[in-house]
Structure 1
């Protein structure tokens, strides 16, 4: 994740903004001073001017109040109930027609002799409504006192004249509209009346309320009649069941039996059939079944049965009929007659109930439809009333407009005309000065944040931690250096780094390096560190200074330390320690000199191996077997070895040398390294599989760190030795 993404999700912190202002205070002060100076120049260049004031009171049209007619025309009513009609009139007074009439009346001109433009005139004219009143105040500033008063009075007169003309024009326009609308309104009344009449005729409406009352009563009566008829029907059904039980026939059988017993054709055939059947029974006792007499009688019986079936079919239809039911007794015939009458009574009652139910349903349906009819009727009546109201209103408005057309009373009254001012009104110069200062502060803050946004460098310890995401082993503050000349040595592009206790005071840098060496000591609990490579992302981050002072701190703690200047491109350790660079690491690697001849002691427990002559291929030399052998000798003779190597950007020296050591110590200097270089170094270290022990943040400006960030690490309680005393002993030994 890039630093831009981290910034976008970072919680807003007021301290972060304060840090930006602290870093960019010069930009803030510069912009503030420039803006303040411009404000002062403008304030003192202004000329005094005269101001004239006049006032108007906005009123409703008084003509209608006197005549007793409604005050609709000329009345200042806003379209929105939350609007103030006074604001509308303020806009009208400042409108182009009023201003243009004033300019033409007074023949106002600009300094070059041209006609004064409405835009410039409006800027010099002030029109405002006084809150809580109906008063509008008009003010004008000019270098001419008399002209200032004339302008205000002419604006008032122009507004009043245009107001009267506008009212009259409005009345004429309204009359034309009303005269066009009256015939339409009259036609709407006739149409509404016709629609209401047709509606009543189609739905047979006379009085809906009375009809609803009658419908309710009728439904109640029909319901009572239905209940009575159902009670009678139940009685008839009960009596019918008793009669059926006595006659052992159902209603249909009883009716059929009664009809058959009273049918002559059926009874005659039945009698002849019974007689023939009797003869057949007698003859069968006398003759054999095949006898001609028996056969003749059987044939006659069959013919009579067929004829009887046809006759009964004519009377009973398809209903089944037994021969026993063709003749009934007198008692049974009486029962069947009662059954027939009861059945007829039942059928009549059922039909009566059906008719009553149909009538009741019809009334209920009509009653349910009445509300809708009433709703439609009321809608038509409302339309008629609305049309009639519109028509009557238009007729009344026509009379009112005739009166308004002749009125010449404005909607405003002059409270006071403008008087010629006696004294000029000087501009408030202090306000322009204050305004220039305020704008300067605002623009200065914007400039500070803009510069900080454009600046791509890592600015604080927090940003360094976020971009690299390595353990912070030490934070080295920056101090003002007055002990030595800061000008670089000829041939160098940067000043020579300083040694604590010798070139600069011990506190607080000594404490910071004590923390660094203690953190390195306890970094690996299983195997103590013995050798490290000190490098940085880009040049001028102070890696050589950190290497030298870390070596001093470790030597001061009693450890035998070797500081190796492995920067075979831009070596500087010999300048720091004021040593000769004629022989050094490169000479040892090519076998020109021995290690003992090249190493030089600079203080007790600290020896320095300069770079030596600059080789054409430093990487090949550092990656040689000779260097690996030499590293074994270093580990045998010294407690700790520190390699000062070139920066990581575009150079592989540090990566090659780190394979022979316990890891890399990366130096980061806020304000020098940018985010892209830091990310590139991070990516290089990750892809090459280097072991990074942590980072040392060098040259930290205490003022730029919130809440004393550099002291967030607990300082170990160590007794520091006097480095200056050690250096004095070394000088005497030399």
Structure 2
């Protein structure tokens, strides 16, 4: 809200420039265009599309939203635009890009509809353009679908032989796999193998039982005959062979003799040696006979002492013992063979799951390739059928009819555009002028350079028609006016600032540049001070361009301050002082304008001020502007303080910055600011309030006089 008020103030201040810009923009942008405009007609048509989803039978199918997005771009393509232009019965003086830019294509959200519209001055022309666009797009869409279907058929035709080759390769892999692993039916083989393993387990269990039984019988016989199986076999053979028995008997007899002879004859006796040789011959004969029965044992290792010679009944038992041993060996051999066989079957069973998995993979691959081939063949057949029945993605189309009424009243639109554009342009120009204007327009700008108090705000009383002030000295000629009260308020502020320690008896009034009203303010301030009983001297120290004589008028005196400061001039100060009213004297600038700085800065000037301080209560020095020369700085240092006059619209920020720097370097005591011709809402209110107050008081006094 605050920023809006600032903009309104700127526009009110720059109303003339803003109004001029508004008028120009409104005329050309609004009025001129509206006077030349013709009505426009809008023709519209619609295209409704089929909703499709991607599938293996139609890999070119897109989702509905993606398809419509592509169609929106395709409808405004240069190729379609050129076809439309060729299809029209009338010529168009437009480029394809210009024509397509005027076509409006819209897809309402979540629909399968595209709306086309074209605006033109001729309604029949607009409708024909839309209809030509719809016809050409429908044909283009159908041609694209036929082309896509043909491409699909060609693609499928190339893929079918390759798919057949891959199918044959996979079938060959399955055949080789079965041959390498000797497989016909893995499931049947697994079932039969498990049955075989179960039968073998039963046989092994039965053989183990028989083996345990035979071993038990053999252990019982072994307790009766403490011989091993080999000894039982030999004993049985000896019992059954008279020759072997006779040889064993002879060997035993000779051995008995040898032992007896060793005792009688000694180990080296010839008879003993002969007996030993006879023993050796008999043992060799025995070994030859025993070779036929000792197949697992070296015959030379058979000791005659180990050979048991049973009787008739014992021989039968020994024969049974030997049979049991042979049967046990046979059972153990069968059991070993069965265990090895069952291990082989179990290894086969362990490999069957892996073989089954590999076979299933190959079978799945075969089925997939077979299905792919069938789908390719089916899709190829469908593609061949679709070539003769393709209608495109367009389900239906609604052609445009010739519009009967204009779309919009462009005259009102142009007038509104011109009005809004004028306001915008005028406001922008006013804002830019305000930004480019470096003039001082408010107290905030002054505060950036001077922090001294504002002792008074003097309005532009020449423009106050209600006051009817025509004099430069309103305090003298219109003492009851609000302007006069403003100057009296300045004098009151100066009285408050003056103290015994720091009295304000000499005050310099200056400004930054010329024509800021410093001379008029100095004169009226002097009159206001004299009006409150002070004896005041007004010194016109602007020797270059004096203005007090013009303000006061009817002053015949020509000599003044410059004449007094010249050494060759013997004029007395008292002769040059001009009394203009009670308690107020003026010392004019004089005639001489040569070397003003030297005159103002001379000791004589300081002497004059010191002498006048003894005679007057207040000395006001009307100094030249600070930016003109160093006169104002010199006078400011000679006085007790300086009042700076700042006029709105006359001084800018750069000048104010230079003035501040000059006064700071000269160490001038600035006691306050006087704002001249400043305008603001608060100032107007203050002024008119005072005016109303004094006007009412004046009328009241008149009524009292006539009552």
Question: Which of 582, 607, 621 does residue 558 from structure 2 map onto?
Answer: 582
CA distance in 1, matches of 2:630, 2:76: 77
1:246-395 equivalences under 5 Å are none
Aligned-pair distance for 1:653?
0.5
Question: Which of 88, 93, 108 does residue 106 from structure 1 map onto?
Answer: 88
**Would the aligned equivalents of 2:454 and 2:675 in 1 still touch at CA under 8 Å?**
yes
Kindly tell me the number of residue pairs found equivalent between the two proteins: 489
Matched, 1:73 2:46: no
**Would the aligned equivalents of 2:624 and 2:631 in 1 still touch at CA under 8 Å?**
yes
Deviation string, structure 1 residues 599-646 (Cα, Å, up to 9, x no partner):
222222222221111330111111122212211221111111111111
Question: Which of 520, 523, 528 does residue 545 from structure 1 map onto?
Answer: 520
Question: Which of 465, 469, 475 does residue 447 from structure 2 map onto?
Answer: 465
State TM-score, norm by structure 1.
0.59
Going from structure 1 to structure 2, the CA distance change for 1:117 and 1:393 (only over 3 Å counts) comes to farther
Question: Which of 28, 39, 45 does residue 48 from structure 1 map onto?
Answer: 39
Deviation string, structure 1 residues 80-137 (Cα, Å, up to 9, x no partner):
xxxxx64553333233222221111115534xxxx42123323443332345643332
Q: In proportion to residue count, which structure has more helix?
A: 2
CA distance in 2, matches of 1:391, 1:529: 119
1:83-102 equivalences under 5 Å are 86-102=68-84
**Would the aligned equivalents of 2:123 and 2:402 in 1 still touch at CA under 8 Å?**
yes
Deviation string, structure 1 residues 231-256 (Cα, Å, up to 9, x no partner):
xxxxxxxxxxxxxxxxxxxxxxxxxx
1:286-685 equivalences under 5 Å are 403=383, 408-423=390-405, 427-481=409-463, 498-501=472-475, 507-525=481-499, 526-578=501-553, 579-590=555-566, 591-685=569-663
Equivalence for 1:318: none
CA distance in 2, matches of 1:48, 1:694: 68
CA distance in 2, matches of 1:421, 1:627: 95
CA distance in 2, matches of 1:439, 1:668: 38
Matched, 1:26 2:16: yes
**Would the aligned equivalents of 1:477 and 1:710 in 2 still touch at CA under 8 Å?**
no
Aligned-pair distance for 1:389?
9.9
CA distance in 2, matches of 1:394, 1:12: 80
**Would the aligned equivalents of 2:51 and 2:112 in 1 still touch at CA under 8 Å?**
no
Aligned-pair distance for 1:75?
3.4
CA distance in 1, matches of 2:370, 2:532: 111
Equivalence for 1:58: 49
Going from structure 1 to structure 2, the CA distance change for 1:565 and 1:421 (only over 3 Å counts) comes to same
CA distance in 2, matches of 1:102, 1:89: 16
SS in 2 for 1:596: helix
CA distance in 1, matches of 2:626, 2:368: 94
Going from structure 1 to structure 2, the CA distance change for 1:533 and 1:123 (only over 3 Å counts) comes to same
List gaps (5 residues or longer) in structure 2. Answer: 174-363, 699-707
Equivalence for 2:178: none
**Would the aligned equivalents of 2:510 and 2:623 in 1 still touch at CA under 8 Å?**
yes
Aligned-pair distance for 1:442?
0.9
Going from structure 1 to structure 2, the CA distance change for 1:406 and 1:663 (only over 3 Å counts) comes to farther
**Would the aligned equivalents of 1:61 and 1:71 in 2 still touch at CA under 8 Å?**
no
Equivalence for 1:119: 97
CA distance in 1, matches of 2:111, 2:371: 37
Deviation string, structure 1 residues 216-236 (Cα, Å, up to 9, x no partner):
xxxxxxxxxxxxxxxxxxxxx
Going from structure 1 to structure 2, the CA distance change for 1:144 and 1:607 (only over 3 Å counts) comes to same
Equivalence for 1:326: none
Superposed CA RMSD in Å reads 4.3
Deviation string, structure 1 residues 415-459 (Cα, Å, up to 9, x no partner):
421123345556331111011110111111111111122222222
Going from structure 1 to structure 2, the CA distance change for 1:497 and 1:566 (only over 3 Å counts) comes to farther
Equivalence for 1:208: none
CA distance in 2, matches of 1:46, 1:135: 33
Deviation string, structure 1 residues 274-300 (Cα, Å, up to 9, x no partner):
xxxxxxxxxxxxxxxxxxxxxxxxxxx
CA distance in 1, matches of 2:419, 2:477: 44
Aligned-pair distance for 1:157?
0.9
CA distance in 1, matches of 2:420, 2:619: 58
Equivalence for 2:227: none
CA distance in 2, matches of 1:599, 1:538: 28
1:132-147 equivalences under 5 Å are 133-147=111-125
CA distance in 2, matches of 1:589, 1:719: 45
Aligned-pair distance for 1:164?
2.1
SS in 2 for 1:19: helix
CA distance in 2, matches of 1:128, 1:101: 21
Going from structure 1 to structure 2, the CA distance change for 1:463 and 1:507 (only over 3 Å counts) comes to farther
Going from structure 1 to structure 2, the CA distance change for 1:563 and 1:158 (only over 3 Å counts) comes to same
Going from structure 1 to structure 2, the CA distance change for 1:36 and 1:89 (only over 3 Å counts) comes to same
Deviation string, structure 1 residues 664-707 (Cα, Å, up to 9, x no partner):
1111112111111111111111122121112212110125xxx5
Between Structure 1 and Structure 2, whose CA radius of gyration is higher? 2
SS in 2 for 1:569: coil
**Would the aligned equivalents of 1:648 and 1:654 in 2 still touch at CA under 8 Å?**
yes
State TM-score, norm by structure 2.
0.61
CA distance in 1, matches of 2:372, 2:480: 101
CA distance in 1, matches of 2:584, 2:368: 113
CA distance in 1, matches of 2:128, 2:82: 15
SS in 2 for 1:547: helix
**Would the aligned equivalents of 2:43 and 2:119 in 1 still touch at CA under 8 Å?**
yes
Matched, 1:148 2:144: no
- Structure 1 window deviating more from structure 2 (502-511 vs 598-607): it is 502-511
SS in 1 for 2:586: strand
List gaps (5 residues or longer) in structure 1. Answer: 1-10, 80-84, 195-384, 487-494, 724-734
CA distance in 2, matches of 1:681, 1:457: 14
CA distance in 1, matches of 2:625, 2:115: 75
Aligned-pair distance for 1:511?
3.3
SS in 2 for 1:467: coil
**Would the aligned equivalents of 2:475 and 2:528 in 1 still touch at CA under 8 Å?**
no
CA distance in 2, matches of 1:397, 1:664: 107
Deviation string, structure 1 residues 648-670 (Cα, Å, up to 9, x no partner):
11400011112221021111112
**Would the aligned equivalents of 2:471 and 2:477 in 1 still touch at CA under 8 Å?**
no
Aligned-pair distance for 1:561?
1.4
Going from structure 1 to structure 2, the CA distance change for 1:681 and 1:173 (only over 3 Å counts) comes to farther
**Would the aligned equivalents of 1:664 and 1:693 in 2 still touch at CA under 8 Å?**
yes
Going from structure 1 to structure 2, the CA distance change for 1:177 and 1:508 (only over 3 Å counts) comes to farther
Aligned-pair distance for 1:21?
2.2
